[in-house]
Structure 1
């Protein structure tokens, strides 16, 4: 088991399924990403740098791509999506209002490109 698997095992089913979905989509975009940590959070790591963390907070699920630019890359798609909130480097959602798959893919591509320096 890895850090993400360990984290997911301690969650209720709705949260676990919602968070696992985001990680699954991210792994489809970047299959070479590995489980690790970023800023003390369970995360996918790409080329030794944190790619994405998804965690349950008290009032929402937070998606942390470790990059305000990655959040900005999908902000236009998410502004009209119900139940989604955004800050500089975070996207917030509830299990009943999941993030659209294409937005997750684009955010992960933006962060990957940033890590690759392209």
Structure 2
């Protein structure tokens, strides 16, 4: 059974344009497969995923991409090969609006964040 979306989080997905919304929801599904006990919250104005007390990922619809935020400025530089094809900043991956990140890549990013949080 799919996890129920908290009302505050749902509003963020509903307000996103297509295909951003579908990409964000697919990435949400993949993130919850990786960390099924994650609490869905709104942090810094975006849907985010909290494991214990650590925010491990955030998603935000931007004009030309979906932003994936690991909530750390030191995570993305750990994956130069995996992220070579993406536009990014220190703290965000610019995901094409119709190409969600793979579950494999999401797992690496979330695992790195959880390791860092310990």
TM-score (norm 1): 0.82
Residue ranges of structure 1 left out of the alignment (5+ in a row): none
- Normalised TM-score (structure 2): 0.82
> How far has the Cα of 1:40 moved from its partner?
3.4
In structure 1, the residue matched to 2:54 is 49
Distance 1:4 1:75 in 2: 31
Q: Which runs of 5+ in 2 are unaligned?
A: none
The answer to whether the aligner puts 1:69 opposite 2:71 as a matched pair is no
Deviation at 1:38, TM superposition (A): 2.2
Give 4+ residue runs of structure 1 displaced > 4 Å after superposition.
none
Measured after TM superposition, the shift of residue 106 of structure 1 is: 0.5
Matched, 1:85 2:90: no
Q: How many matched pairs?
A: 113
Aligned to 1:76, what secondary structure does the other structure show? coil
Match of 1:29 in 2: 34
Shift of 1:15: 1.1
**Root-mean-square deviation (Å):** 1.8
Distance in 1, Cα, partners of 2:92 & 2:116: 16
- Tell me, in whole angstroms, the C-alpha distance in 2 between the residues paired with 1:25 and 1:51: 13
1:112 equivalent among 107, 111, 114: 114
Q: Deviations over 1:42-66 (max 9, x none)?
A: 2111112222111111222111110
| Deviation of the 1:69 alpha carbon | 2.6
